[in-house]
Every structure is written in structure tokens, then in C-alpha cells.
Chains A and B, each alone.
Chain A
Amino acid sequence: NAGVTQTPKFQVLKTGQSMTLQCAQDMNHNSMYWYRQDPGMGLRLIYYSASEGTTDKGEVPNGYNVSRLNKREFSLRLESAAPSQTSVYFCAIEWGTFSSYNSPLHFGNGTRLTVT
């Protein structure tokens, strides 16, 4: 999806290993989000960043940390991976400012993570 780049596309980790998922946008939008998608559970918000320098917890933040490195980049870190974190992770950006509320989200193509 144009404008949101996620790396890597696939990753396999062993329990206890750490990794960072990267997300970069090229459209200079303020708000960025990390979601996880699990079968039958839809998308659940992990963390979000309304603007550069701020981050907030979403619905399922446990086991994750985030960094809003600059306006373009928002990374998600798993310090000690667990099998329950096996999922597809999506980064999204929001057109306009966080206060718009009616702006749609634009998603990257996801990172498929397996923890064994």
C-alpha cells in the first residue's frame, strides 16, 4: 500500500528472542498506529502515536514497546517474544491531524510473525 512501508514482511522467532518491526511513511502525517490481526478477532490496537514525540497504549500493549523516532518512523519492539505474539502486525497512518477523527487509516502490507 502506497505511503506506508513495513519491514520485515516475514519473521520467525524463538520464544524469548527480541525483534523490532519497522514502519515508515512518506506522507508526513501526524498519527501512526500499530495493530495486530488474529483470526476471528479482527484488528486490535497495540500502540499509537498521535504526533512526533508522543506514544500511547492501545487495547493490547502488554509485551510490546514503541518508539516514534521522528515524524516518518514508528517502530514496534518485542523484548521477549512469546507464542501468543504470533500474529500479523499492521502499521497504519491517519490522514490529517489526530483531531480530525473522520480521516481514514492507510495500512501497510503487514509483517507476518511466528514465535515458536
Chain B
Amino acid sequence: AQSVAQPEDQVNVAEGNPLTVKCTYSVSGNPYLFWYVQYPNRGLQFLLKYITGDNLVKGSYGFEAEFNKSQTSFHLKKPSALVSDSALYFCAVRRDSGYSTLTFGKGTMLLVSP
């Protein structure tokens, strides 16, 4: 079985400060990892993914994520937060071979204050 843990229900950060949204995963074999963002009353939007290779992945809107195999983590980061980054963020995992669907974490609400 595969699973994702997002240990923080909510992250608060001031505009201009760096932000980190945490994610750890469990999967048999190697992972494919994804981050999605959800704005109110909308579907999820893809931000970035890790497949293989460079452990630092860059995505949309200035976000990046760092893959750490030994810690089974895939934390989402941004050097300077914007108020407009306030949204619900989901981490997701699937294994890289064989039959597998995408498993999501429970989500982390990011609130960026002016």
C-alpha cells in the first residue's frame, strides 16, 4: 500500500518570507511524487512533479520541491511567499512501475498574511 502524510493542517507565513509545506510518503519501490494546489471552489491544479534525477524540482508560480529519498520526504518550498499563494496544497504519490493509482495526502492550508 502507498500513503502520504502531510503533518500540518495549516501553515501560516508572512508575505515575503520563505515557506515550506511538508510531505512524507510511503511506497513500495521508487516513487513518482506530485504537488497540487486548490483554490476555493476549483479543482486541483498541478504544480510540479518528481520522477527521477535532480532532487530539486522546479514548478509553476515559483514553487519548488526537494526530494529526499532517505527521509522519504518531498517538501514544497518557495523563497518568497505571496498573499495570492494562500490555498490548499496536496501532495500525492504513486509507484513508478506496475499497477498504481495516485494517492493523495489530506492537504495543508497555506495562509499568507500581508
Q: Which residues of A contact B (CB under 8 A)?
A: 1, 4, 33, 35, 40-45, 48, 58, 90, 92, 101-102, 104-110
Closest to A94 in B: B102
Rounded to whole Å, the gap between the CB of B106 and the closest CB of chain A is 4
- Report whether A106 and B46 are in contact in the complex, using a CB–CB cutoff of 8 Å: yes
Distance of A10 Cα from B90 Cα, bound (Å): 23
Closest to B34 in A: A104
Distance of A68 Cα from B36 Cα, bound (Å): 26
Rounded to whole Å, the gap between the CB of B39 and the closest CB of chain A is 10
With an 8 A cutoff between CB atoms, is B104 at the interface? yes
Contact of A4 among B32, B43, B95, B96 (CB under 8 A): B43
Contact of A43 among B32, B41, B96, B104 (CB under 8 A): B104
Rounded to whole Å, the gap between the CB of B101 and the closest CB of chain A is 6
Distance of A50 Cα from B16 Cα, bound (Å): 43
- A92 contacts which chain B residues (CB < 8 A)? 43-44
Q: Which residues of B contact A (CB under 8 A)?
A: 9, 32, 34, 36, 41-46, 49, 51, 90, 94-97, 100-107
- Would you list the 5 A-B pairs with minimal beta carbon distance, nearest first? A107-B43, A104-B46, A42-B106, A43-B104, A42-B104
- B95 contacts which chain A residues (CB < 8 A)? 101
Contact of B42 among A35, A44, A105, A109 (CB under 8 A): A109
- B44 contacts which chain A residues (CB < 8 A)? 43, 90, 92, 105, 107
Cross-chain pairs A/B with CB under 8 angstroms, 19 sampled = A1-B42, A35-B104, A40-B9, A41-B106, A42-B107, A43-B44, A48-B101, A58-B101, A102-B32, A102-B96, A104-B49, A105-B44, A105-B46, A107-B43, A107-B44, A107-B45, A108-B43, A109-B41, A110-B43
